[in-house]
Structures are given as structure tokens and as C-alpha cells.
């Protein structure tokens, strides 16, 4: 391959090898910041808990009285 296609192929190879190296460094040196202390504590509300305590949606009004054209205008 010559020209732009060869350059693009080379760049993809370089980027993926740099990414692999980065991941290996994170695994070997444990540079990630996920620790048991950073996990949510029992006092934290999870998304499921927040959803169960949310107020229910307002019921839909009966729109058969109001024409659709009027509703769209409002």
C-alpha cells in the first residue's frame, strides 16, 4: 500500500499498540481508581431506590374534548 491508505493503516496499528500498553500499565501498576472504598456505601441511594420513591406521572387528560389542531397550537 502506498500513500494515505498506508499511513492510515500504520496509524491504526500504532494507536492500538499504545492502547494495549496503556491498559497493561493500568493492570500491572493498578493505576485505576476503583477501590472498595470508592464503591457506593449502604447509605447511598441507587438508581433503583430513587426510581421506586419517585412520584408517579401525572395522568393524561382526556383530550377528546379538545381538537388536535388546538392542542398543537397551544
What pLDDT score does 34 carry?
59
What pLDDT score does 44 carry?
59
pLDDT digits (tens, 9 = 90+) for 9-62: 666 655 667 777 777 777 666 655 655 555 555 555 666 666 666 677 777 766
Q: How many residues does the chain have?
A: 74
Torsion of Cα atoms, 31 then 36 then 41 then 45, to 10°: 60
pTM of the full predicted structure? 0.21
Lookup: cell for 42: 449502604
Lookup: cell for 37: 472504598
d(CA 6, CA 9): 5
Lookup: cell for 63: 383530550
Amino acid at each position: 500500500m502506498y500513500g494515505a491508505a498506508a499511513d492510515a493503516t500504520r496509524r491504526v496499528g500504532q494507536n492500538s499498540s499504545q492502547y494495549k500498553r496503556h491498559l497493561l500499565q493500568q493492570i500491572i501498576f493498578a493505576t485505576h481508581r476503583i477501590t472498595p472504598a470508592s464503591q457506593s456505601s449502604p447509605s447511598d441511594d441507587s438508581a433503583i431506590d430513587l426510581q421506586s420513591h419517585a412520584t408517579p406521572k401525572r395522568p393524561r387528560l382526556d383530550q377528546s374534548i379538545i381538537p388536535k389542531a388546538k392542542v398543537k397550537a397551544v
